C-alpha cells in the first residue's frame, strides 16, 4: 500500500466554539461527508466510516510543557518519543539533539535504504534556498529529514512542470507573495487530484501545509477559515481521484494551535489523525493508534510490502 502523508501544521481538536475555533466555523462539506456529519473538533473521534477514520492523538506524550514543532515533527517521522527521551519539547527548528534523530532514523531514510521511492511534494522558492545556503535560515524538521537522505527539495521549475505542488495547494501565493506572475494556479479540487497523481509515483510521499500554524500564532480567524476550506476542497479531489484502493491518505498534525484563536500559543489539545482509504487498509493501519509516536510504525507496516 502506498502512503500519502498530509501534514497540517498546528491543528488540534478544539472545542466546538464558533468564536475561537476556525475548524468549527469553516464550511467543510467534503470532510463532513467523510465523517458522517462530524467536524474536526473535540469529541468527533474515534470514528470509523465507509471511506475514512478519525482518531485523536496525544501530542504531549507524557512530557511537561506545551508540544513544539521540531520535536513533534521528528516524532511523526521516526516513531520515537523524542520529547520523552530528551526530557523536553523543542521548537520551532531542530536543535542539535533533535537533529540527530533526523539523520538515518526517519521514514524517508528507511524508504531509501529499502530502495523505495519517497518525496516531499512541496515546491520551495529560490529565496528559501538562498536563505539556507547563506546560513540565515535553517531547515525545519521535515526538509531536514528529506535532505539528510540525499533526496532533493523541489523547486519552482518542478512546480511549473507539474512535478510538485505549492505549499498553499493552489499556487496563488507564488503569484501574490513570491513574485512569480506566471506560476501555475489551480483550484483546491484540482490540487487534490494533482496531489494523488503525484503520490502515485512514490511509495511514500509527504506534503506540508504549514500556513495553518502561522494563522494560529497570528490569531487570524478569516485566514484560518479560508485555509481549512481550501483543505476541504483538496479532500474533495482526493476522494474523487479513484485511487483510494491503492493509496492510504493520512492527515495529521504535530501539536494544537489554530483550533484555539483565543491564544497565540500552542495548546495541549489532542491532534486529529484523519485516515482515508479502503476499509481493509484502515483496519490494518489504525489499531492501537493513540499518540504521535504510533504513526511512523503504522506507516512503515503499510509500506513494507509495496514494491
Hey, how many other C-beta atoms are within 10 angstroms of the C-beta on 286? 18
**Secondary structure class of 295 (helix, strand, coil):** helix
Q: Domain 2-304: which CATH class?
A: alpha beta
What distances in angstroms separate CA 124 from CA 4, 22, 131, 204, one per listed residue? Answer: 19, 27, 11, 19
In angstroms, rounded to a whole number, what is the distance separating the alpha carbons of residues 117 and 79? 20
First to last CA, the chain: 9
Residue by residue, DSSP assigns 111-178 as HHHTT--EEE-BB--HHHHHHHHHTSS---HHHHHHHHTTPPPB-HHHHHTTSSB-TTSSSHHHHHTS
Give the list of residues 6+ apart from residue 102 with CB closer than 8 angstroms, or none: 74, 77, 78, 94, 141, 144, 145, 148
Boundaries of every domain in the chain: 2-304
Query: In tens digits, what is the pLDDT along the chain, a chain of 307 residues?
Result: 999 999 999 999 999 999 999 999 999 999 999 999 999 999 999 999 999 999 999 999 999 999 999 999 999 999 999 999 999 999 999 999 999 999 999 999 999 999 999 999 999 999 999 999 999 999 999 999 999 999 999 999 999 999 999 999 999 999 999 999 999 999 999 999 999 999 999 999 999 999 999 899 999 999 999 999 999 999 999 999 988 999 999 999 999 999 999 999 999 999 999 999 999 999 999 999 999 999 999 999 999 877 6
The whole-model pTM stands at 0.97
- State the pLDDT at residue 110: 97
Alpha-carbon distance of 202 to 185, in angstroms, equals 24
The pLDDT value given to residue 307: 66
d(CA 167, CA 234): 12
Cα 8 from Cα 258, distance rounded (Å): 10
- In angstroms, the CA 186 to CA 204 distance is 24
- Letter string b/e over residues 219-229, b meaning 16 or more CB atoms within 10 A of that residue's CB: ebbebbbebbb
CA distance 35 to 53: 8
Question: CA nearest 147: which of 160, 133, 161?
Answer: 133
Cβ distance 142 to 7 under 8 Å?
A: yes
Give bridge partners of residue 252 from the DSSP assignment.
Answer: 7
pLDDT score for 271 = 98
- The per-residue DSSP string of 192-234 comes to HHHHHHHHTT-SEEEEEE-HHHHHHHHT-HHHHHHHHHHHHHH
For residue 205, the model assigns a pLDDT of 98
pLDDT at 242: 87
Q: Is 8 helix (H, G, I), strand (E, B) or coil?
A: strand
B/e letters for 26-61, b = 16+ CB within 10 Å, e = fewer, are bebebbebbbeebbbbbebbeebeeebbbbbbbbbb
Amino acid at each position: 500500500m502506498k502512503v500519502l502523508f498530509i501534514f497540517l501544521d498546528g491543528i488540534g481538536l478544539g472545542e466546538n466554539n464558533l468564536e475561537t475555533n476556525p475548524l468549527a466555523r469553516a464550511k467543510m462539506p467534503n470532510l463532513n461527508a467523510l465523517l458522517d456529519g462530524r467536524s474536526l473538533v473535540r469529541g468527533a473521534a474515534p470514528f470509523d466510516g465507509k471511506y475514512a477514520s478519525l482518531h485523536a492523538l496525544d501530542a504531549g506524550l507524557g512530557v511537561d510543557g506545551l508540544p513544539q514543532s521540531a520535536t513533534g515533527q521528528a516524532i511523526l517521522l521516526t516513531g520515537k518519543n523524542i520529547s520523552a527521551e530528551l526530557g523536553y519539547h523543542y521548537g520551532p527548528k531542530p536543535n542539535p539533539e533533535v537533529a540527530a534523530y533526523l539523520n538515518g532514523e526517519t521514514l524517508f531514510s528507511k524508504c531509501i535504504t529499502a530502495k523505495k521511492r519517497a518525496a516531499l511534494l512541496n515546491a520551495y522558492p529560490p529565496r528559501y534556498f538562498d536563505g539556507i545556503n547563506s546560513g540565515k535560515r535553517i531547515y525545519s524538521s521535515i526538509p531536514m529529514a528529506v535532505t539528510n537522505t540525499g533526496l532533493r527539495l523541489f523547486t519552482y521549475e518542478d512546480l511549473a512542470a507539474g512535478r510538485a505542488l505549492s505549499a498553499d495547494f493552489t499556487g496563488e501565493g507564488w503569484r501574490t507573495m513570491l513574485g512569480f506572475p506566471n506560476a501555475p494556479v489551480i483550484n483546491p479540487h484540482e490540487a487534490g487530484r494533482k496531489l494523488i497523481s503525484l503520490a502515485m509515483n512514490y511509495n511514500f510521499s509527504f506534503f506540508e501545509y504549514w500556513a495553518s500554524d502561522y494563522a494560529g500564532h497570528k490569531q487570524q480567524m478569516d485566514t484560518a477559515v479560508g485555509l481549512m476550506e481550501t483543505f476541504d476542497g483538496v479532500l474533495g479531489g482526493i476522494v474523487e481521484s479513484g485511487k483510494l484502493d491503492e493509496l492510504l491518505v493520512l492527515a495529521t498534525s504535530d501539536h494544537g494551535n489554530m483550533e484555539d484563536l483565543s491564544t497565540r500559543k500552542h495548546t495541549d489539545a489532542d491532534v486529529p489523525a484523519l485516515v482515508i482509504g479502503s476499509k481493509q487498509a484502515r483496519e490494518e493501519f489504525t489499531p492501537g493508534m493513540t499518540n504521535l509516536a504510533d504513526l511512523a510504525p503504522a506507516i512503515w507496516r503499510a509500506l513494507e510490502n509495496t514494491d
